[in-house]
Every structure is written in structure tokens, then in C-alpha cells.
A and B are shown apart, each in its own frame.
Chain A
């Protein structure tokens, strides 16, 4: 991906930021629909109890209808925002890949609307899982678009990079961990978070309430008894008000897997943060290749990545706390929805870190060199700009 300052458009960037914030609200709205078991409270689509969706009387926005109907209205608003965004990007951004990302965003939001409608009209509860997972990916896309239109991204590697002639010589001087492995670790952790989100969505769409009513134990044990007799005992003694599906051994195991993956994510994010902060520290293992060097010491994205890593770690810690609170509060709707939203933010942070980590500032350096050679009075040696000390 090449950065080009001529695509700098603060209006577009802030429009996307507002759209991302609105999308976050929509995610929360959708979370509340599921948390309140209201997904089927409006039996028809795209109408609402026979009314045009935009003309449904406010006096009838009661009970589960309130959550489902407002979710549909918000989604319509997002659809409009994305339509404008897609057109704007197509007309004004010179980067071909950005224009097509705008088209992808439009297609995704339209697909989301159809999926949500079909889930209701075809009584396909499992579509709710797809709808929820796709919503997370859509949110990641919008946040990425905000990043790609930011001044920071557009100037990435252009002004702050030292003009080094020989990366290999610089690699011998610089010290730092194998930064190239870190980006792959970040990517793996981000993918694991997405899998965790799918696990969570699958759990929520069982409509069986809490499969395990205690935390950190599971039915008082480290690993719960999932035999048929034990599950029958759990169901016989279970009192639920709004989630009346009986629990199954599959659901119990699913929640245990969800808990274990949460722990794995916490460990991985901690390692990512630790390694991000140790980049360029004297005495640590030397960078092995020029590509690793560009991550290890000379890349101006290192400070932002360190901040991202700490924020990511804080989010994951908060997410674990929210998961525990969800259990302790017997899946209170607002707590469970907050858990969904922090999960979404965790995915976004990982995705944005990947975008930064996999960005190729060497390309920006090459562009800068090319520009410098065209400047009048430029000092060059063998056609390359002269070595300039780091500032």
C-alpha cells in the first residue's frame, strides 16, 4: 500500500470516524436485541407489524419491539452513511484499493441488512450468528478506513524516517527483538480474538441463558461434569425467567472453551505488549534482517504500536472482568452487551495494529528518495541521497 499525502482529506476522515462511532452504537443496539431475546419480536420485515418501518407508531415501541425496531432504524441510518462514504471514496480517493474498500463496505452493510431480515422471515436463528460475526468484521473495516484516511497514516514513513542508504549496515548497528515475528504474533492473536467472538456469538444464540452459572469455577469444579445425569440435574434445578431452552453438554463445553481461549488471548496479548515495548532496547537480540530492522528501530510506528499494545492489554483485562460479571449478574442484558462491545474493540485494535505492523514503510522511504532526487540542490552519492544522521 502506498501513502500519498494528496489524499489527505480531513472532512472525509472525520466523516468516517463519525460513521465508525455510529457503527459502534449499532453493534451495541444489536447486542441488546440478543441480550433481551428480542430478535424475533417483530415478525415481519422490512415492515414492522404491517407498518412501513419508518412510520411505526412510537407508542408501540414496547418490550422487545423497542430493541429490535430501533436496531433496524439505526441500521438504516448506517446504510445511508455507508452509501455516501462509498461514493465519496470512489470519487475523491486516488488509491484504487481504498475505492474498492468503500465498495466492500457498501456490499457488507447491504448484506447485513438482508441477513438480519432473512433471520426473521425464515426463522433461521443460526443466521443470527453469521449476522453478529459479520457485524464485527464490518466494524473493523470502517475503523480501518478511518485509519487509512488519517493524516498519521498518510504521512507514515515519509518525514520522520532517516534516509539510510544501507539497511544491512544499519541492521548490524541496531539492536532489537525479531520484530518481524511480532507482527505475525499480533495477526495470530487477532484471528484468535475473532474466533473467540464467533464462540461468544454461538453461545448467545443458544438462547439457553448461562450454561455455567458460576465463575471462575464451573458448577463448583475446575472442569464440570457433563454426563447426561449431571446435565439433567442442572436442568431440574435451574430457574430462568427469559431463556427457557434447556442447557446441554455441548453448551457447557462451549463455555469452557470460551473461557480457555480468553485466557490464551490474555497471555498472547501480554506477550505482544512485552515485545512491542522491548523493541530497540540495547542488549536485546539483534535484528536479523533488514525487514525486521524497519520494524525494530527505524519505523516511526513503534511508539503508536506501544500505545496500542497497552490499550489492547487493558481491553482484554476489562473483557475478562466483563465476562466474569456477565456470569455473576446472571447474564444481565447491559453487562452482556458491554462484553460484546469490548470484544469488538479488542478485535479492532488487533486489526489496526496488524495494518500498522504490516505496512511497508520501506516503500515510503523509496518514494521519499525518489522525491528527494527531484529536489533542486539535492546532495546525492551514486544517485542515492546522502546519509543523514537520525534526528
Chain B
């Protein structure tokens, strides 16, 4: 039997490869709401518009607070405060914002700086896509989008929380896009849960931001395993 010779270089390469892949962990948590939020209201102007009313059987309601049965709070933007210049948005896949039934879907979303945001018009009526940033460096746009018209694409170079998109033809239509300067963010889902993936080891300030309730922060240290941090908002 011939002995197989194993190159001594291969183990060295394996060790180096393992060393180069820095350990990363996720920051996970749950966001809840205490107190009774104000009642959502019916978007009656939508039903007064024949084009829009035709797409709904019942009057849609506002979604200021998306709260689950146990107080789980959705639509909270969770990010690492102060972490900038780490954006991978230029190479990230585009995020889609759609106009369906004369409403924006989703209403709350997050993208990275430099990441493409594609706005579609799935409705059989005209919309105008009007974004109104408040941070210098992010440009205001107001573009017509006909029914069946081409998608509109936007990028924003500066971080901004809750950059507003609206339609002036249908003035009840709003979406809020938070622009984060890193890939370390998450939007809480209907169960109140969020996951910020692949966070390098280190100490961070995690910020949870709700459009109506403001922001809360907590300090965490990420080592080599997932870190759990929960937030509790309260309506007073």
C-alpha cells in the first residue's frame, strides 16, 4: 500500500481560513407595548375615491400601532446606534415598496444607504411618488407613476429614520422608509420579534425606534453567541 502524502500546506490554509472568518452572532429580541394605544381609524377618504374604493370590500384602517394579542409590537426599527460607514447597500438586492389598493405595502420598512428602493404601482390608477427626506444629502423626489407605468428606483446616501413617502393624489397614502448606514438592522414582525444578523463581536448600543413612540436604547456586548435584548414601549 502506498502511503498518501498529505501536503503540509493544506492544514495551514484551513487554520488560516478559520482564523480569517471572525466570529459573529445575532442580536435577537422581542418588543412589546404596554398601555392602550389610541384606536385606529377608518381611512374613509379612500372609500370616497371610486378608483380606490373598487379595490376594497371594507374600509381599510390606519396602522399606527400594530400590536399582537400579548402586546407584541411590530414595525419597530432596531439598529445599532452609531455604527456607520459599514453599508453594503450598493451590492444588496433592491427592496420593493408597492402601491396596492391605494395603500403602500409595506408601510414601515428599512434599507441601507445606497441600497435601491424600487417603487411599483400595482394599481389601475395614477399615483405620484413623493418622498420628503429631512436629512441633508437625501434628495426630495416627486414623480408621476401612471397605471402600469415603469417602476421607480431611489437610493439615499444618508441615514435617516422614517423618511416619508406619500402620494398627493391620494393623501392618505404613506410609507416610512428608514435608511441605515450598516447592514445591522431589523424590523420587528407581527410577533414583536427582531433579529440583527451577523454582528461582529464588540460593545454596541441597540436602538429600537417606533414612529409614534420614539426611541429606546440598550447597551449590549456581542461575543461568540447570540445576544438577547428585549424592549418594552409604553403608551401614556
Give chain A's interface residues, CB within 8 Å of chain B: 36-44, 49-50, 60, 62-65, 68, 120, 123, 232-233, 235-239, 241-242, 244
The smallest C-beta distance from B149 to any residue of chain A, in angstroms, reads 10
Contact A241 B43 (CB under 8 A): yes
Contact A123 B38 (CB under 8 A): no
Known A-B contacts A39-B168, A44-B144, A236-B212; the reply to A62 vs B39 at CB < 8 A is no
Give the residues in chain A near B166, CB-CB below 8 Å.
244
The smallest C-beta distance from B174 to any residue of chain A, in angstroms, reads 5
Residue picked from B52, B128, B168, B235, most chain A C-beta under 10 Å: B168
Residue in B126, B168, B214 whose beta carbon sits within 8 Å of that of A60 in the complex: B126
Contact B213 A64 (CB under 8 A): no
Q: How far is the CA of A20 from the CA of B49 in the complex (A)?
A: 33
Closest to B143 in A: A43
Contact A236 B236 (CB under 8 A): yes
Contact A244 B125 (CB under 8 A): no
**Interchain residue pairs with CB less than 8 A apart (17):** A39-B168, A40-B128, A40-B168, A41-B169, A43-B144, A49-B144, A49-B146, A63-B126, A64-B171, A123-B140, A232-B214, A236-B214, A239-B41, A239-B64, A241-B43, A241-B62, A242-B172
Q: How far is the CA of A50 from the CA of B126 in the complex (A)?
A: 13
Closest to A243 in B: B171
Contact B125 A62 (CB under 8 A): yes
Interface string of B118-153 (1 = CB under 8 A from A): 000000011010100000000010111010000000
Which 10 A-B residue pairs are closest in the complex by CB-CB distance?
A: A41-B168, A37-B171, A63-B169, A242-B171, A40-B168, A43-B142, A123-B140, A64-B169, A41-B169, A64-B168
Q: How far is the CA of A65 from the CA of B49 in the complex (A)?
A: 12
Residue in B44, B143, B164, B169 whose beta carbon sits within 8 Å of that of A244 in the complex: B164
Q: How far is the CA of A63 from the CA of B174 in the complex (A)?
A: 15
Known A-B contacts A37-B168, A232-B214, A233-B236; the reply to A241 vs B45 at CB < 8 A is yes
Give the residues in chain B near A123, CB-CB below 8 Å.
140, 142
User: Is B100 an interface position by the 8 A CB rule?
Assistant: no
The smallest C-beta distance from B36 to any residue of chain A, in angstroms, reads 10
Residues 18-56 of B at the A interface (beta carbon under 8 Å): 38-41, 43-45, 49-52
Give the residues in chain A near B130, CB-CB below 8 Å.
40, 43
Give the residues in chain A near B170, CB-CB below 8 Å.
63-64
Chain A contact residues: helix, strand, loop or mixed: loop
Contact A65 B169 (CB under 8 A): yes
Residue picked from A41, A65, A123, most chain B C-beta under 10 Å: A41
Q: How far is the CA of A169 from the CA of B44 in the complex (A)?
A: 71
Q: How far is the CA of A364 from the CA of B235 in the complex (A)?
A: 71
The smallest C-beta distance from B132 to any residue of chain A, in angstroms, reads 8
Q: How far is the CA of A49 from the CA of B142 in the complex (A)?
A: 12
Q: How far is the CA of A233 from the CA of B213 in the complex (A)?
A: 8
The smallest C-beta distance from A47 to any residue of chain B, in angstroms, reads 10
Give the residues in chain A near B50, CB-CB below 8 Å.
62
The smallest C-beta distance from A327 to any residue of chain B, in angstroms, reads 17
Contact A63 B49 (CB under 8 A): yes
Contact A239 B40 (CB under 8 A): yes
Closest to B52 in A: A63
Give the residues in chain B near A41, CB-CB below 8 Å.
128, 168-169
Residue picked from A40, A43, A63, most chain B C-beta under 10 Å: A63
Give the residues in chain A near B128, CB-CB below 8 Å.
40-43
Closest to A37 in B: B171
Give the residues in chain B near A233, CB-CB below 8 Å.
236
Contact A239 B214 (CB under 8 A): no
Residues 183-236 of B at the A interface (beta carbon under 8 Å): 212-214, 235-236
The smallest C-beta distance from A45 to any residue of chain B, in angstroms, reads 11
The smallest C-beta distance from A59 to any residue of chain B, in angstroms, reads 10
Known A-B contacts A233-B236, A241-B62; the reply to A38 vs B171 at CB < 8 A is yes
Closest to B174 in A: A244
Closest to A65 in B: B169
Q: Given contacts A37-B168, A62-B50, A123-B142, list 10 more A-B pairs with CB under 8 A.
A: A36-B171, A37-B171, A38-B168, A50-B144, A62-B49, A63-B52, A63-B126, A237-B38, A239-B62, A244-B164
Residue picked from B41, B62, B126, B146, most chain A C-beta under 10 Å: B126
Contact B125 A239 (CB under 8 A): no
Contact B126 A62 (CB under 8 A): yes
Closest to A33 in B: B168
The smallest C-beta distance from A126 to any residue of chain B, in angstroms, reads 13
Contact B236 A239 (CB under 8 A): no
Give the residues in chain B near A65, CB-CB below 8 Å.
126, 169
Q: How far is the CA of A244 from the CA of B212 in the complex (A)?
A: 11
Contact A241 B168 (CB under 8 A): no
Q: How far is the CA of A235 from the CA of B49 in the complex (A)?
A: 28
The smallest C-beta distance from A56 to any residue of chain B, in angstroms, reads 11
Contact A239 B43 (CB under 8 A): no
